[in-house]
Structure 1
Amino acid sequence: MREMIAALGRFGLFLLRILGAIRPSRSQWRDTVRQIYVIGARSVPIIAVGGAFVGLVMTLQGYRALVTFGAGNALGTMLSLTVFRELGPVLTAILFCGRAGSAMAAELGLMRATDQITSLSMMAIDPVGKVVVPRFVATVISVPLLTAVFIAFSILAGWFQAEFLLGVDGGYFWASLQSSVDLWEDYGQAFVKSAVFGVFCALIATHVGFHAKPTPEGTSVATTQAVVYGSLMVLFLDFLLSATLY
């Protein structure tokens, strides 16, 4: 228990250090834009493919369940609410942890192992502001946008399967989706969740990478911790946010 409390304190202090190192400088903004491309734009293919397959599976399983009760036309409602409220933000954050979170931890771990972070400190350059802040800000911006991509591909794939493979009328599908999705209750809160997930995914990945032991084993451990801790934190926060928001 003491170790857990100490770890929470270290993460909290590191977050304050990150927030204090954010500067409206041209170099930091340039590095942030580059990180948005590296960890955000390059994650679009896996997010899009993952969202499409989730939409296909949810449509197939949901149709079988709804037809049993004679409610096949409510397929759009079931798919949209499930994807917006739970699967979209959660699976996007978990996929992001596996793809980009591990990469951030590995990069920072290698920088620690090769003394690049120490060299920045010796040159009077804040290493947190130089290498951590751009990755942190880019993650907070990218995860909500990737969530939108995941949701869009899930719904489009679900509509395609519902209309062309299962025989559900497309008008009923889109009408039920439009009538059931609320701008704030579903759409807005999905992005509140994804923004919170982005903050903690970025914090965990940068913390374990920045403080990794300067050895190849330390980098490997940091990469594993970024994925495992980040995914578990996403599931834990999803429960808290769902209980609070809904």
Structure 2
Amino acid sequence: MNYLKSIGAYVIMLKSVFKRPQKGKIFWEAVFREIDDLGVKSVGIVAFISFFIGGVVAIQTALNLEDPIIPKDLIGFATKRSMILEFSSTFIMVILAGKVGSYITSSIGTMRVTEQIDALEVMGINSLNYLVLPKILATVFFYPFIVLLAMFLGIFGGWIAGIATGLFKPEDYIAGIQLDFQPYLISYSLIKSIVFAFLIATIPSYFGYFVKGGSLEVGRASTKAVVWTIVVIIFSNYFLTQMLLS
């Protein structure tokens, strides 16, 4: 019953979020500020993780393909598919759910417990529209670029790993990348990234907006927000994969 109430409150929150902003200039300033806070400042950690995970995937694949009968271009093919299908669109979003989700919940939750949100309401401002909609637009429009960056750096990291370790030839790796290339798989990953970006922006906002108590409750709400965002992303990943690839 509590879960149904939470879902109902979440849906009601979204109805208030998607309304026309009262002041366009202030709203778009907020959007660009959120792009910097939620997107640009996450590029570094995404690039670092993607590059080395791509290298690890390539090395592990090479070590498990010791049979000379198996063509070496499968290393590049496996790395490409792993990075495009799951890592860049799902695991990167899970990482961002932890980094960005906790930030969103704590920032909005702090505004709630310090009565800043109440002050916005007193001034006649739609606080949900003012606080949450810029975050949704920032993540939905910017995170697909992060996913594309993760794809490229992961595949590039695998190529560098081959040069550094000598486990496979760079030309074999490149041939594997070109093998059975399907542009739709990139579209599939980008569609997933948009859905996950929406979840990352809205679920932590819900937990932060409706937090009650003091700073301790804000910390607990941040933990719950991250956990639930990751859970919903994993479930959504299953259903989106069924719908888009079956």
Task: Give the TM-score normalised by the residue count of structure 2.
Answer: 0.93
Name 1:106's counterpart in structure 2.
Answer: 106
**What is the CA–CA distance in structure 2 between the aligned matches of 1:23 and 1:95, rounded to whole Å?**
33
**What is the CA–CA distance in structure 1 between the aligned matches of 2:198 and 2:229, rounded to whole Å?**
10
Contact 1:105/1:226 (<8 A) preserved: yes
Name 1:46's counterpart in structure 2.
Answer: 45
The reply on whether 1:83 has 2:83 as its aligned counterpart is yes
In the TM superposition, residue 29 of structure 1 has moved relative to its aligned partner by 0.9
Amino acid at match of 1:3: N
Name 1:94's counterpart in structure 2.
Answer: 94
Name 1:243's counterpart in structure 2.
Answer: 242
Name 1:230's counterpart in structure 2.
Answer: 229
Contact 1:109/1:214 (<8 A) preserved: no
Distance 1:35 1:158, change over 3 A: same
The reply on whether 1:62 has 2:64 as its aligned counterpart is no
**What is the CA–CA distance in structure 1 between the aligned matches of 2:22 and 2:173, rounded to whole Å?**
47
Name 2:210's counterpart in structure 1.
Answer: 211
The reply on whether 1:20 has 2:19 as its aligned counterpart is yes
Distance 1:24 1:171, change over 3 A: farther
Distance 1:67 1:19, change over 3 A: farther
Distance 1:175 1:22, change over 3 A: farther
Name 1:181's counterpart in structure 2.
Answer: 181
Deviations 1:112-165 (A, max 9, x none): 011000000001111112222111211212221211122121111111112331
Contact 2:72/2:172 (<8 A) preserved: no
Structure 2 gaps, min length 5: none
In the TM superposition, residue 179 of structure 1 has moved relative to its aligned partner by 2.9
Q: What is the aligned length?
A: 244
Deviations 1:168-201 (A, max 9, x none): 22222122212333112x1111100111101111
More helix by share: 1
Contact 2:57/2:158 (<8 A) preserved: yes
In the TM superposition, residue 214 of structure 1 has moved relative to its aligned partner by 3.7
**What is the CA–CA distance in structure 2 between the aligned matches of 1:151 and 1:12, rounded to whole Å?**
33
Amino acid at match of 1:152: F
Name 2:35's counterpart in structure 1.
Answer: 36
Contact 1:114/1:214 (<8 A) preserved: no
Distance 1:89 1:24, change over 3 A: farther
Contact 1:76/1:174 (<8 A) preserved: yes
In the TM superposition, residue 22 of structure 1 has moved relative to its aligned partner by 5.0
**Equivalent position SS for 2:211:** coil
Structure 1 gaps, min length 5: none
The reply on whether 1:170 has 2:170 as its aligned counterpart is yes
Amino acid at match of 1:92: I
**What is the CA–CA distance in structure 2 between the aligned matches of 1:163 and 1:24, rounded to whole Å?**
54
In the TM superposition, residue 46 of structure 1 has moved relative to its aligned partner by 0.7
Give the superposed CA RMSD: 1.6
Matches within 5 A, 1:135-214: 135-184=135-184, 186-214=185-213
Deviations 1:20-79 (A, max 9, x none): 255781211111011101110000111111111211221111112233462322111101
